[in-house]
Structure 1
Amino acid sequence: MTTGAGLFIGLMSGTSTDGVDGVLARIAPDSRPTVLAQASLPFPDDLRQTLLALNAPGHDELGRAALASLALAECYADTTRQLLAGASVAAADVTAIGAHGQTVRHRPDLGYTIQLNAPALLAERTGISVVADFRARDVAAGGQGAPLVPAFHAAIFAADAPRAVLNLGGIANVTLLAPGRPVTGFDTGPANMLLDEWCRRHTGQNYDHDGAYAAAGKVDANILEYLLASEPWLAKRPPKSTGRDLFNATWLDTRLNAWEGYCRRLTPQDIQATLQRFTARTVAQAIDREAPDTQEVLVCGGGARNSGLMRDLAECLNRPISTTDAHGVPALSMEALAFAWLAYAHVNRLPAGLPDVTGACGPRVLGALYPG
């Protein structure tokens, strides 16, 4: 396989489990990637429900997971075809696809992480080499296997003053960049995950568009402080990562049930507003604790389009915040672009697993290659 500059595709389906985001980008050393095409493909509802259900134990998990992996690869292949057509690029001209897969278990404390994927099928469907299984090598080296994006953030957003790059997917993760200091990064807690769960439960909508549902309610300070104080993981120092194994509907219901009589006086919109502020507070507390000299925060991911959440973040962070769009990278394409870059790093044998981020015993080249 050729190395150096080239065309790479990144495919990402995150903990929000709403679909696939993809980018086709030209990536070269010492320059910012150039995005040539973007595409998004929502999951069919049956696949989405299956993927969500596979986050918990159930009947015939192995068989259901295998079939879901194949269906996911078909979605990845469809997204890839859209990208190629949108840029008028031939598959033969693409060096590799970086495909993260769908995380259904993440237990680095027990030495494993599971992403559903079928990279061999994706290589067959597209004729393009696929890099996948990005987390496993870092976990094998004693790391968290997450977050995966800080090396990429450092490559394109390093500055002369301390700054943070905040990704608001299902889970929020932050990269801390400062001159003269190692790149660090970690998960801060839920971002859209609990917000989407509560909104879907009470409105039937998959997410709270622009925070409108939360805006119809009022933050309850008592429940907010209880949520912040009741979860020990939030006070844990990095390296750390999390996912649906911890922050899920059961986590939320257990805490709200402890306030059952009190919560009856609140509207569902009040809970939505409180969860939105909970996300903002957990992010702000994490940055204040680990990098109090941070001067600005760059925001990406789906949550960057939630103006209500962005307002809460601005208030809680008490620092200038902006989306990465203002810095040349579309906020909604950031994670997919990161996986294009991770494929580039794998092909060029660049260690993207950073021990100061994940706690691994050393830097590691991430991913496994499936030739096209």
Structure 2
Amino acid sequence: MAPHATVKRAIGLMSGTSMDGIDLAMLDTDGDGNVMRGGSSFAPYDAAFRKQLEQALGTAKAIRERHERPGDLAELETELTERHALAVEAFLAREGLAASNIDVVGFHGQTVLHRPLEGLTVQLGDGARLAERLGIDVVYDLRANDMELGGQGAPLVPAYHRALAAGLPAEWAGETPVVFVNIGGISNITYIGANGDLRAFDSGPGNTLIDQWMSRHAGIPYDSGGAIASEGRVLSGLANRYLSSPFFTARERVSLDRNDFQLPDDDEAGLEDGARTLAFVTAAAIAKAQAHLPEKPKLWILTGGGRHNQQVVEDLTVALRHTGQVIKAEEAGLNGDSMEAEAWAWLAVRSLRGLPITYPGTTGVKKPATGGVLAQAKATAQD
């Protein structure tokens, strides 16, 4: 590793399992410990496009090889890529920047199928088209190499979490072990030990069940602030059914697909009780992750959209009250909404340098592995 690696300006793009829109963040970074966070933005998907993406989950079940695009997936991929291009252009205009000011874009795309036991992961998103469209180099398909080398292909953000943990403000510096909890559609955790030991895995359903429940029973995309959940009660039988899933009792951690946990039947709960129970399950699933950690954490840092659900946060704070302090990312000077997008910017630069992005303790890959495909804007434009 070069002692003074070149700092690059990168934009990261993330569309997660919640399928609510595109998170965008800019970093100046060397893909290692030098991280200077810049602006961020969010481009929401309209309801019709969200429905298309949800329907794509069903279509994608027919995929047997990750480059296949059955049904309308090829057309949807083109539209998704265009929406990402528009999000970048709007951000650059807002920041007063030109494409030439950006060295690379880290492009996650939209996961429509993730079957780690089959070594298969599919993210819609055409990296070459995005590079041509923007005139900026794009690094994409960051999960595939890990899976080809025996990893789960997820989570990919932990290496960035470790870089952030090394730069926490004085109030929190030295509070190790520290755990980052990303409550997205699926929740995942990153454990960072005092010696930099890195462990990470999916902990269970995050927002996805709550969001689907709200959409089905209230016609709204999510439970804002956990307000509806706060009016309900935990249905213990329903909660225990989720928490007794083989996923939680298995010794080995596996990465999850959005469809691995199903909604309750409509007659099992009313709107409020369903929302309350699913919020409890989200928190309890995270708390169960402690059984797979080498030491008891001193600090839990909450990131992702789920940290806005106050009922989830309250349940988690109660569940972890004997193990460490629970804070939101902003209390540690971080941005809990843009962190995953920041990670994709950081990972893109790291990929360019050929540095590892996954580790045995994060994805189960046999040895530290780099990843990603580079689409060069100039070469693409000449093709």
Q: Structure 1 length as normaliser, TM-score?
A: 0.91
Aligned to 1:135, which of 140, 143, 148?
143
What is the Cα-based RMSD across aligned positions, in Å?
A: 1.9
Q: Distance in 1 between matches of 2:350 and 2:288?
A: 32
Q: What is aligned with 2:25?
A: 23
Q: Distance in 2 between matches of 1:135 and 1:360?
A: 11
Q: Distance in 1 between matches of 2:21 and 2:28?
A: 23
SS in structure 1 at match of 2:260: coil
**1:20-55 deviation digits (Å, cap 9, x = unpaired):** 010122113665522322111111333221111111
Q: What is aligned with 2:222?
A: 207
Q: Distance in 2 between matches of 1:26 and 1:135?
A: 23
Alignment of 1:321-340 (within 5 A): 321-340=326-345
**1:183-229 deviation digits (Å, cap 9, x = unpaired):** 01000011000000111111111000000110110112222122211
Q: What is aligned with 2:81?
A: 73
Alignment of 1:101-116 (within 5 A): 101-116=109-124
Q: Distance in 2 between matches of 1:237 and 1:83?
A: 44
Alignment of 1:1-372 (within 5 A): 4-28=6-30, 31=33, 33-57=35-59, 62-158=70-166, 160=174, 161-180=176-195, 182-229=197-244, 231-247=245-261, 251-253=262-264, 256=265, 263=268, 266-318=269-321, 319-372=324-377
Q: 1:30–1:252: structure 2 CA closer, same or farther, 3 Å change rule? A: closer
Q: Distance in 2 between matches of 1:117 and 1:227?
A: 32
**1:62-89 deviation digits (Å, cap 9, x = unpaired):** 2411111111111111111122122222
Q: 1:119–1:92: structure 2 CA closer, same or farther, 3 Å change rule? A: same
Q: 1:354–1:30: structure 2 CA closer, same or farther, 3 Å change rule? A: closer
Q: Could you tell me whether the CA contact under 8 Å between 1:105 and 1:245 is conserved in 2? A: no
Q: Could you tell me whether the CA contact under 8 Å between 2:60 and 2:70 is conserved in 1? A: no
- TM-fit CA distance, 1:180: 2.6
Amino acid across the alignment from 2:328? T
Q: Could you tell me whether the CA contact under 8 Å between 1:151 and 1:352 is conserved in 2? A: yes
**1:151-170 deviation digits (Å, cap 9, x = unpaired):** 11011114532110000100
**1:318-346 deviation digits (Å, cap 9, x = unpaired):** 23111111222211010100100010101
SS in structure 1 at match of 2:254: coil
Q: 1:166–1:41: structure 2 CA closer, same or farther, 3 Å change rule? A: same
Q: Distance in 2 between matches of 1:366 and 1:59?
A: 25
Q: Could you tell me whether the CA contact under 8 Å between 2:213 and 2:263 is conserved in 1? A: no
Q: Indicate the larger mover: 303-312 or 121-130.
A: 303-312
Detail structure 1 runs of 4+ shifted over 3 Å in the superposition. 28-32, 57-61
Q: Indicate the larger mover: 134-143 or 319-328.
A: 319-328
Q: Distance in 1 between matches of 2:199 and 2:32?
A: 21
Q: Could you tell me whether the CA contact under 8 Å between 2:180 and 2:301 is conserved in 1? A: yes
**1:61-119 deviation digits (Å, cap 9, x = unpaired):** 62411111111111111111122122222211211000101001101101111001111
Q: Distance in 2 between matches of 1:38 and 1:364?
A: 28
Q: Could you tell me whether the CA contact under 8 Å between 1:36 and 1:87 is conserved in 2? A: no
Q: 1:43–1:108: structure 2 CA closer, same or farther, 3 Å change rule? A: same
SS in structure 1 at match of 2:259: coil
Structure 1: unaligned runs, 5 residues or longer: none
SS in structure 1 at match of 2:54: helix
Q: Distance in 1 between matches of 2:231 and 2:106?
A: 40
Q: Could you tell me whether the CA contact under 8 Å between 1:24 and 1:83 is conserved in 2? A: no
Q: Distance in 1 between matches of 2:184 and 2:31?
A: 28
Q: Could you tell me whether the CA contact under 8 Å between 2:115 and 2:257 is conserved in 1? A: no
Q: 1:209–1:182: structure 2 CA closer, same or farther, 3 Å change rule? A: same
- TM-fit CA distance, 1:238: 4.1
- TM-fit CA distance, 1:287: 2.1
- TM-fit CA distance, 1:291: 4.2
Q: Distance in 2 between matches of 1:289 and 1:28?
A: 32
Q: Could you tell me whether the CA contact under 8 Å between 1:186 and 1:238 is conserved in 2? A: no
Q: 1:58–1:185: structure 2 CA closer, same or farther, 3 Å change rule? A: closer
Q: Could you tell me whether the CA contact under 8 Å between 1:105 and 1:114 is conserved in 2? A: yes
- TM-fit CA distance, 1:181: 5.6
Q: Structure 2 length as normaliser, TM-score?
A: 0.89
